[in-house]
Structure 1
Amino acid sequence: MTETRRSEIPPTTDPRPDQQSPAASFPSADGLRFRPLAAADVEAWLELVVRIAAFEKAPWHAQRSELEAAFSDAVNPVAENSVAGVDADGGLRAFGRVVKNPGGDKAYVLGGVDPAWQRHGVGSAVLAWQEARAAERFAADGQPGARARNYVEEDNPALRALLAGAGYSVVRYFSEMLRPLVDVTAVPVPAGISIVPWTAELSEAVRLAHNEAFADHWGSEPRTAEQWAVQMTHEHLRLDLSTVAIDEAGGDVAGYQLATVDPDVEARHGRREGYTELLGVRRAWRGRGIAPAILTDAMVRFAAAGLDHAALDVDTENPSGALGLYERMGYRAQRRSMAWDKPL
């Protein structure tokens, strides 16, 4: 089973009327003025994200819908959990956010610095503010063991050096895997199981199935209905390529595959890629061959849509044996990323 890093940190929208204003003071960096992000920043924020991703040759970056959703996140109000570094001309040059779910065992520290402003201490200043704010969030929730987490591509030495220098360490490895859509061997669908198209009527049942399937997976936290709704509006989502495995006897969701297509992949890498964003099988239905049947079905759908590769991301230590399954099905690791943690 796989739950990609691309979808692991959805915005939360549960009401938190007791949320307190942060005591952490804004970062300090020569030439930049810091303030919270504002809704009017979305266009400039997206442009900054794209610049950073291009400079770092990142395989993906946040889309407009994800940035816009941050401003309706009542658990992590942008006014209290973000900073924007603005230059003398009003240009957005750096940003940072802190995202923590109620009761969650880590706070995500997300951010970036304009390539022209890197190596000026801006990233360190933003990260220090994020850590202070994350510690406040744990204290407000009455939770000990405050911890910050960031995800880094292995081929991003600058960010790795920043985190290592700030006291972070690698706690998990992930591999992005790729398979050409040639020689796809059909896998029989297990008896009593039907693979059907993803529909709006099935979406809530799939959300609940996903929460159950990933309850024992490292780093995963339950998705609320609000979080799920954000994911269902993502620009790259392809529900026509997504499927649900249904138990014919009771009509229960046994498994699912959520697909996305990033049109920029062809420009960057010269391939048309169908990406399995989420893949899961509920515990009661595991060991029956549902996952390979769903994946094979996805490959057929990808090819019929004119795509030439299938891709996914996997936790290399996933206890379900997902890495071995994908390798047997012809997927091969292309690049690696790491989760970095720091106790606060």
Structure 2
Amino acid sequence: MTSLLLDPDLLSTALPAGWHAALPGPDDVAELHALRARHEVAARGAESAGLDATRAELTGDAAASRAHMVVRDASGAARGWATAQDRAAGRVLVAVVVDPELDDATGDEVAAVLFAWAEGAGVAQARARGLTRTQLDSGAFEPDARHQRRLAAAGYEHVRTWWQMRRPVVDSDHGLRPTGPGVVVRRLDREEGAMPGTRDLAAAHDVLEQAFGDHFNYHEETFDEFLARLRSDPGHRWDHWWLAELVDGDEPQAVGVLIASASTDAGGRAVGSYVEYLGVRREARGRGVARSLLDAVVTDAAERGRAYVGLEVDADSPTGAADLYLSSGYTTSYVTQSWHRYVDVR
């Protein structure tokens, strides 16, 4: 049955009269971005994703791991959009966007169709990996009770809360502060304009895999998957990767990694930096590694003339990360939730 759910014609039979489901293409980028912007403004009062991100997801490098479906009303206007991303073995990211201008009954109907399609797409992605079971990982803004109700109706459960935090960059952030004792922070080695060498990239991947092994919802990601996913982000920059090494032994030991991206405004200008990853191996925690890496990205943002540094943190993190960010001047801008559902591959 799940394979049939991938058929737009079958999905169309479950929609209001005259409505239809279709596969989106390059010509739909602007309209779907506007749809997502309306959803975000209604849900939390501001847009989150930029046009470049929407374009990358639909037509750029980020499209390779994603499947999409759009729902159009009788006039042909896009009223709903769903994405299923093969994020890692056993984990599929599901995003469902419903036009907030629809009445609740119609919106519920559209959401149910899109969540059913996403289940089929997620099962197909898991089957291609040879899996027998997979997690469907979706989310909601904390104030958006309507979308949370639709997630629950689709069989998802609220499992985690995340703080989306931001710190303004100020004049005193110019000039890198001292690192912790025995700690050196550096950018990955690379030639001008080239990507870093395999040794540093592999070290960064290894550190993150070890650092996040005890974190919520950890799923192992291969080196190739890791690189391909990060490079597909339109905000990716090779000079936004830092390694932290302990240098008080015989050889430098990579123990921490921070990977950031450029946050752009509506005109495509880089106005902030966003911490995609900050991980420290367990045996090196408590030596100032995380704070030294944070200082590096803040100093870098100041030197580039950016206004802020943003990041996401697990509200229930067992590592005390939230306390570190609060003590470093970060405050919560808004709150999101993770909702999960598990499905068998048939």
With normalisation by structure 1, the TM-score equals: 0.77
Alpha-carbon distance in structure 1 between the residues aligned to 2:180 and 2:33:
44
Q: In the alignment, which residue of structure 1 is the partner of 2:218?
A: 220
Amino acid at match of 2:132: Q
C-alpha contact 1:29 1:125 (8 A) present in aligned 2:
yes
Amino acid at match of 1:99: Q
Q: In the alignment, which residue of structure 2 is the partner of 1:256?
A: 257
Amino acid at match of 2:21: F
Superposition map of 1:231-270 within 5 A: 231-248=230-247, 249-264=250-265
Amino acid at match of 2:3: P
Alpha-carbon distance in structure 1 between the residues aligned to 2:156 and 2:2:
26
In structure 1, the gaps of 5 or more residues are: 1-19
Alpha-carbon distance in structure 2 between the residues aligned to 1:310 and 1:132:
37
Cα distance change on mapping 1:321 and 1:111 into 2, 3 Å: same
Matched, 1:314 2:303: no
RMSD: 3.4
Matched, 1:190 2:180: yes
User: What secondary structure is seen at the aligned counterpart in 1 of 2:152?
Assistant: helix
Q: In the alignment, which residue of structure 2 is the partner of 1:66?
A: 57
User: What secondary structure is seen at the aligned counterpart in 2 of 1:93?
Assistant: strand
In structure 2, the gaps of 5 or more residues are: none
Q: In the alignment, which residue of structure 2 is the partner of 1:296?
A: 295
Matched, 1:111 2:88: no
Cα distance change on mapping 1:167 and 1:222 into 2, 3 Å: closer
Query: How far does residue 169 in structure 1 lie from its aligned partner after superposition?
Result: 2.7
Matched, 1:26 2:15: no
Alpha-carbon distance in structure 2 between the residues aligned to 1:309 and 1:166:
37
Amino acid at match of 2:204: V
Matched, 1:168 2:167: no
C-alpha contact 2:62 2:233 (8 A) present in aligned 1:
no
Which stretch shows the higher mean deviation, 46-55 or 147-156?
A: 46-55
Alpha-carbon distance in structure 2 between the residues aligned to 1:129 and 1:143:
18
Amino acid at match of 1:331: Y
Which stretch shows the higher mean deviation, 83-92 or 298-307?
A: 83-92
C-alpha contact 1:241 1:302 (8 A) present in aligned 2:
no
User: What secondary structure is seen at the aligned counterpart in 1 of 2:4?
Assistant: coil
Q: Which has the larger strand fraction?
A: 2
Amino acid at match of 2:159: V
With normalisation by structure 2, the TM-score equals: 0.76
Superposition map of 1:137-148 within 5 A: 141-144=130-133, 147-148=135-136
Alpha-carbon distance in structure 1 between the residues aligned to 2:88 and 2:265:
35
Cα distance change on mapping 1:265 and 1:293 into 2, 3 Å: farther
Alpha-carbon distance in structure 2 between the residues aligned to 1:173 and 1:37:
31
Alpha-carbon distance in structure 1 between the residues aligned to 2:15 and 2:221:
36
Query: How far does residue 203 in structure 1 lie from its aligned partner after superposition?
Result: 3.1
Which stretch shows the higher mean deviation, 131-140 or 175-184?
A: 131-140
C-alpha contact 2:212 2:218 (8 A) present in aligned 1:
yes
Alpha-carbon distance in structure 2 between the residues aligned to 1:205 and 1:89:
53
Q: In the alignment, which residue of structure 2 is the partner of 1:5?
A: none
Q: In the alignment, which residue of structure 1 is the partner of 2:204?
A: 206
Query: How far does residue 296 in structure 1 lie from its aligned partner after superposition?
Result: 1.4
Superposition map of 1:30-109 within 5 A: 30=16, 31-38=18-25, 41-56=28-43, 57-61=45-49, 62-68=53-59, 69=61, 71-73=63-65, 78=67, 82-100=68-86, 103-104=89-90, 106-109=91-94
C-alpha contact 2:244 2:289 (8 A) present in aligned 1:
yes
